[in-house]
Structure 1
Amino acid sequence: MDTCVSGQQAQRRAYVTLVLISLFCLAPFFWVLLAAFDPKASQFLRLPDSLTLAHFHNLLTNESGVRWIMNSVVIIGSATVLTLIFAGLGGYALSRTQAWWKRPLLYAIILVRIVPPPALIVPVYKVMLTLNGWMHGFITGLTDDAALQTTLLRMFSFVDGYLGLILIYTALQLPLAIWIMKTFFDAIPKDYEEAAALDGASQWQTLRYVLIPLALPGFAAAGLFAFINAWGDFLMPLMFTSSPELQTLPLGMFRAFLRVDAIDYGFLTALAVIYTLPAVIAFAFARRFLTQTFSGGVKG
């Protein structure tokens, strides 16, 4: 009896400890959420006397918030789509091939993912700078319209342009995504492809109507990891963009915190709330597939 009571007390102490740790971890999130709606937001956690949407209105109308959001959505969204396309094709190819170089290539792919991104800044920047010079020459030779040149350079430049950041994020997220997709295609029996072939389906039809629906949990997992990792990145936009028109949300938060005058904590926390929402929404959509992923969808 004493042993049972002692065990229950230990369990209660463990629960109390977990609750205290959880409250400590959640306190910054509560502060951000409350300060975003507090007319007198400050650096200290406090209950607001009233609620206001003025910080969000200021962010979306008077500041560059809309531009930061659109830049992040365009760049990270495009990189995530490209990552899923290449990861799906590469994962399927690596899953079905039996060549001797398959295992060394898989290890080489994951080793690329292990290398920290700051170590790649200098060589990647040199490569992108060389490609950027070629792209500038091509665009300036394509048209004499200065406005059109500016627009095309902003879109397709490898340095200080959308295309460069999209390709960098795709390359950084691709190794893990390929491994995830390869593992999922390994779990799909080849009998499905053989049955589709017997029914007269082409390779493309088999991939589109049979394999992709079965591998949706893998696409959801790979897309979520790629999106969240790229969405929260600060280093690459800092290094590869210089124009204010190309700043992303992480850079916007950094600039807002380093303003010469007093820090507007209401504006900063409103920006942080908007910055957090896409990741939360993406997780909510992918949750069902992630449940399948971590409950046995990935094997071997």
Structure 2
Amino acid sequence: MAKRPQLMAYATLSLISAYCALPFFWAALASFDGNASLFLKWPEDWTTANYTRIFTVENGLTWFMNSLIVVGAATVLTMVLGGLGGYALSRSNAWWKRPFLYTILLIRVVPPPALIVPLYKVLLTANRAVQEVLRAVLPPDMLRPAMRVFGLVDGYLGMILILTALQLPLALWILKTFFDTVSRDYDEAALLDGASLMQRIRLVLLPLALPGLAAAGLFAFISAWGDFLMPLIFISSPELQMLPLGLFRAFLRVNTVDWGFLTALAVLYMVPSVVAFGFARGFLVRTFGGGVKG
């Protein structure tokens, strides 16, 4: 009798897991099916053409590289700013600390579509200033390539800053909470040993902060990697398009949906997030399991 509730719980969890895994199973099978359709079926014509076509016929390599550059840079910037800001907030006793934390949390709660119009106007004005500066220091034939990198609208830099701003509030909360679990004795011991600020950060705080940084970086990467709205609004050049836009346009093909190509692209789209979670899983458990006790 004691085992019956446990068996029921395992059976329920198994059904829920199977239901959740079914779309992924369909996508994996359809990506290798030469005649893929909307319905789940075992492939009769196994092929890898759907995957090779992403890179040989379509602009799959460009989509992946743009996404990796933008999301990777935004994740690193979020970790750096979140780490420094989280440490400062954790060690500060200023009266404005708690109102500031709740304010940035409220900013994170605001739906991104509500920010589109004011954000676009601000970045468009700043983008004109950047263009004027680059025009003054670069030859005309170098202006467009430079704007692809430093442009705040239709440029790498703008997308990196936007994604960083969207992910930074949560990263600050995670890292501030994590540094609260790190004893101040480490800071005081390094200070007594004569370590400079940079030495304390590099030799003491950075090794201790790795679990928190990995957790914040994982959330930032997964959220930025799956962001569709911001690239749709702020990227217009074909050579700068990111993977979410490629997936969206693959679904909007004329006449009919190529389910084989679409699912192959979706499977590849999921791989970086799964790999990132695999690398950060251990740090994630340590971060939300109590951090570092001193």
Instruction: Mark the CA change 1:39 to 1:106 in structure 2 (over 3 Å): closer, same or farther.
Output: same
Partner of 2:252: 258
Shift of 1:115: 1.1
**Counterpart contact for 1:31–1:45, Cα < 8 Å:** yes
SS in 2 for 1:297: coil
If the length of structure 2 is used for normalisation, what is the TM-score?
0.95
Query: Does residue 267 of the first structure (1) align with residue 258 of the second (2)?
Result: no
- Counterpart in the other structure of 1:91: 86
Match of 1:289 in 2: 283
Q: Indicate which of 106, 121, 124 corresponds to 1:126.
A: 121
Q: 2:18 and 2:8 mapped to 1: Cα distance?
A: 15
8 Å contact from structure 1 (residues 237, 247) kept in 2: yes
- With over 3 angstroms needed to count, the CA separation of the structure-2 counterparts of 1:194 and 1:68, relative to structure 1, is same
In the other structure, the counterpart of 2:99 is 104
Cα deviations by residue, 1:112-142 (Å, 9 ceiling, x for unpaired): 1111111111111110010011111112222
Sort the Cα spacing of 1:194 and 1:14 in 2 relative to 1 into closer, same or farther, 3 A: closer
1:189 aligns with 2:183: yes
1:200 corresponding residue in structure 2:
194
Task: Letter of the 2:93 partner, please give it.
Answer: Q
* Residue number in structure 1 paired with 2:159: 165
CA distance in 2, matches of 1:252, 1:228: 18
Residue 277 of structure 2 is aligned to residue 280 of structure 1: no
1:72 matches 2:72: no
Contact 2:63 2:243 in 1 (8 A): yes
1:144, distance to aligned residue in structure 2 (A): 2.5
Shift of 1:277: 0.3
Unaligned runs of 5+ in 2: none
TM score, norm. by length of structure 1: 0.94
Contact 1:37/1:52, CA 8 A, preserved across alignment? yes
- Cα distance in 2, alignment partners of residues 192 and 15 from structure 1: 44
Query: What is the aligned length?
Result: 293
Residue equivalent to 1:48? 43
- Aligned-pair distance for 1:168? 0.3
Asked if structure 2 preserves the Cα contact closer than 8 Å seen for 1:91 and 1:181, the reply is yes
**Cα offsets for 1:12-49 (capped at 9, x unmatched):** 34433332222222111001001111122111111113
Structure 1 gap ranges (5+) = none
1: CA distance, partners of 2:110 / 2:167: 12
**RMSD of Structure 2 on Structure 1 (CA):** 1.5
The verdict on how the C-alpha distance between 1:214 and 1:227 changes in structure 2, with shifts beyond 3 A counting, is same
Q: Deviations over 1:85-136 (max 9, x none)?
A: 1111111111111111111111111111111111111111110010011111
Q: Give the 3-state SS of the residue equivalent to 2:44 in structure 1.
A: coil
Q: Verify: 1:21 aligned to 2:16, yes or no.
A: yes
- Residue 98 of structure 2: SS of its match in structure 1? helix
Opposite residue 52 of structure 1, the aligned amino acid is T
State how far apart, in whole Å, the 2-side matches of 1:237 and 1:265 are.
Answer: 23
SS at match of 1:215: helix
The alignment partner of 1:43 has SS state of coil
Check the 8 A contact 1:183/1:298 in 2, yes or no. no
Query: % of aligned pairs identical?
Result: 61
